[in-house]
Each structure stands twice: as structure tokens, then as C-alpha cells.
Structure 1
Amino acid sequence: MGISATLAATLFVIAAPSGAGKSTLVNMLMERGAGLQLSISYTTRPPRPGEVNGRDYHFVDVAAFIVMRERGDFIEWAEVHGNYYGTSRPALERQMANGRDVVLEIDWQGAQQVRQQFKQAVGIFILPPSIEELERRLRARGQDSDVVIQRRVAAALGEMRHVGEFDFVIINKDLAVALEDLMAAVHASRLRLHSQQARHPDVFRFLELG
């Protein structure tokens, strides 16, 4: 079964540069109980403090990732900061076949790959209010050296130039406001004509009469 056949479900592709607050916003969105299923990506990077295998990511080694990639298991994959990330095609298709709206938390490269295969996916990009604030947030993590932070800031500038490829843009200056904006984007996407027709065929059936 191809993913394009699961029209009753909406696929949300959420991307952002590191430090923009994407993971925090997605976690808060899921906690709101918005009827969304989070797709858990595979990655070769080591877990960060507090991360749990199978909840935050499926952590695998490079050899296992390459086997899955060559087998065609990923609807998208990318190398970011020296680590591989990928989204399981079979898991995504199962979720959407069951009518569940799915959230993909990925980078812009992965977003491009997904939207090439699934044209009706909804792209949402999260921006920091400024590059200075992005750098401050990266430093506040206390995990990276100055050299690494400068490399991440430079990479973030390149990533943010792809914002024009997305349907919605959330500027994360105030976390509470950004969350409300994100929820509004999800709600608006569910009201698109093709989504409403797929979810409520009985409502539209009378239009076919006469």
C-alpha cells in the first residue's frame, strides 16, 4: 500500500534549525491531545541525557541504518551534523492507513523528500526570532564547544533559507504563543477541502445528487 492512498489522514512535516525549539513545541503539541501520532525517527547519533530509545528516537548504529536504507525502509533520510536520520515508511503507512494524523519532526532535506512523494503533506517551519537568540539557546544547552556552536549557527542560516518551501511559518519568540500558532496551523490544515471530503464523505454525498 502506498502512502498516497491514505487521503483521510493528514501528514504534518515540521522542520526547524537546531535551537529553534522544534522538539519542545512538538512535545507540547502532542501533550495537548490533538489527535496526532508522532512518527519516531531512526538515528545513528547517541542519545542525549533523558532521551529514551523508542520514545524520542530509535537509536541504531550506522551499519543497521545503512541496511534499512538499502532495503528501502525509509521514506526519507538525511545526514545532519555527521549523523544519519530516517523515517520508517512501513510505520508511517500503517499509522495513516488507520486514519491517524501523523507528525514528522525532521529537517528540511527530509521534508523535501517526503513532500515529493506525498504532495498533500502540510509543511510547517519553525523560526527563531533572531540568529542571536538562536545562538543564545544553543549556548544555554551547555553541550557544545564554541567551534561546534558556530558551525551549528552557520548551518542554521542555510537551513532557514528553505523556509519558502513550507506552508506555515511559526516564529518561536514566545513559547506559549508559538504553541497556539502551531495548533492553529494543524486545525486549519484539517479544514482543507480534500481533507474534509475524505473525513466526512456523507456530508458531501448530497452534492453528487442531481
Structure 2
Amino acid sequence: MYEREERKKIIVFTGPDGSGRKSVAEAVGQTFGMEKIISFVTRLPRPGEVNGQDYHFIAHATYREMEEQGEFLESVEIDGNLYGIRSLDIENKFSHHDSVYLILNREGASILKKIYGDMVIRLFLYADRRTIEQRERSRGLAEDVIAKHLSHYDLEMSYRGSCEHAFENYDLGQTTYEITNALEQYLQRDLVDKD
């Protein structure tokens, strides 16, 4: 007889801005039926971003109030903007799902790994600098935003060796396939022979 063992996993998609984290994360999340944890941020939405779907876009003062009340599990500042994950959001999703996913930079990914340990699987996505620049231009991002992202590129790339898995992302379908195969060992091994 087989019994289901609970294996709660937090899948973190990380890597430089423009590496395709969001597209790959959504495709993989859909494949496994994982719920997305949405970060809170104090910056304005970028072209194509939707409030409540990509981020919760909130005022700086509101963010600080939530932070003072201890709502954020992790909080980081990037280029003057604050980003945070609420512990309540993770707890709520875990009450209905075994696996959740997030899209975070290296600081956020490191904080979650320290808090949750082996529950966190970090998937590092990357592409070369020129490809990232082209992707960001095609998304309609302002030149100053692209320049800021590229200024973080080397630092973000240095985090690759700290992650459980790394994937070069030039083809969405191929990368999604490779990540799905890698995650099978974490997300599908929940059947254990009890006989």
C-alpha cells in the first residue's frame, strides 16, 4: 500500500533580471500545479506588469507600516525600492498546497534558504549580458532601468554556484523541460511503499 508523505517545497526562481525567471516560473508552476507567492514592492509597475499578479504594488509608507508590524519574512532594498514576502502568504498557500514558488533576487533567495533550509530549492536562470539587454529592450523597459539591471548582472551571476540547480535560458520550452525534469525528484517522490 502507498501512503502520501507530505513534502512541502518552496521553489525559488532566481538569477539576473531579464533571465526569463517569470516566464519559466509560470510555465513550471502550471506544470506542477504550484501556487505563486507574490512579493510586495514599492516601485511602480513596469510595462506588462499587473498588480496582484506580478507583484503587490504598494506605497512606501504602507510597506514601512507592514514591516514595522513584522509582516515580512524577508525584506530587501534594490535601487531604492523595497521588496518583501509575507510569512502569512506562505503559510496560507501551504495549508492547501505542498509546493509553492517565488521569483526572487539572490538576497531574497538566500534569506528564504536560511529560514526554511532544505524546503527551499533555488533554481538559477541566466543568459549572457547581451541577450538580457535585448530582452529588456523588447519588453519596453526604460534605458535607465536596463542600465540598473545590467549594473547588478555580475553580482547576480556570482550567486549561481550557491543554488541547487542552474539553467542557461535561451529557449523557454527547453529550459522549462529541463527544470521540470530536475524538480521531479523533489515534487513527485511523495509515494512511499509502506508494505
Q: Give the Cα–Cα distance (whole angstroms) in 2 for the partners of residues 164 and 140 of structure 1.
A: 29
| Aligned match for 1:104, one of 96, 102, 105 | 102
Alignment RMSD (CA, Å): 1.9
Q: Give the Cα–Cα distance (whole angstroms) in 2 for the partners of residues 57 and 132 of structure 1.
A: 26
1:104-158 alpha-carbon deviations (Å, 9 max, x no partner): 1111100110010100111111011x2222222223233222x543332121111
Q: Normalising to structure 2: TM-score of the pair?
A: 0.88
Q: CA deviation at 1:173?
A: 1.5
What amino acid maps onto 1:143 in structure 2? L
What amino acid maps onto 1:18 in structure 2? D
What runs of 5+ residues in structure 1 fail to find an aligned partner?
1-6
Matched with 1:73 is: 71
Q: CA deviation at 1:200?
A: 4.2
Q: Give runs of ≥4 in structure 1 deviating > 3 Å.
A: none
Relative to total residues, which structure has the larger strand share, 1 or 2? 2
Matched with 1:172 is: 169
Q: Give the Cα–Cα distance (whole angstroms) in 2 for the partners of residues 31 and 190 of structure 1.
A: 13
Matched with 1:27 is: 26
Q: Give the Cα–Cα distance (whole angstroms) in 1 for the partners of residues 104 and 42 of structure 2.
A: 14
In the TM superposition, 1:1-210 aligns within 5 A as 8-32=7-31, 34-120=32-118, 121-128=120-127, 130-145=128-143, 147-190=144-187, 196=189, 199-200=190-191, 203-204=193-194, 206=195
- Contact 1:35 1:100 (8 Å CA) reproduced: no
Q: CA deviation at 1:17?
A: 0.9
Matched with 2:3 is: none
What amino acid maps onto 1:177 in structure 2? Q
- Contact 2:73 2:86 (8 Å CA) reproduced: yes
Q: Rg bigger for which structure? A: 1
What amino acid maps onto 1:171 in structure 2? E
Give the secondary structure class of the aligned counterpart of 2:46. Answer: coil
1:9-28 alpha-carbon deviations (Å, 9 max, x no partner): 11111112111111111122
What amino acid maps onto 2:125 in structure 1? I
RCO higher in structure (CA 8 A, sep ≥6):
2
Matched with 1:3 is: none
Q: Give the Cα–Cα distance (whole angstroms) in 1 for the partners of residues 51 and 27 of structure 2.
A: 19
Change (3 A) 1:142 1:98: closer
Taking only the aligned residue pairs, the percentage that are identical comes to: 28
Give the secondary structure class of the aligned counterpart of 1:102. Answer: strand
- Contact 1:13 1:122 (8 Å CA) reproduced: yes
1:75-95 alpha-carbon deviations (Å, 9 max, x no partner): 112112221111110110121
What runs of 5+ residues in structure 2 fail to find an aligned partner?
1-5
Q: Give the Cα–Cα distance (whole angstroms) in 2 for the partners of residues 62 and 152 of structure 1.
A: 21
1:59-86 alpha-carbon deviations (Å, 9 max, x no partner): 1111111111122211112112221111
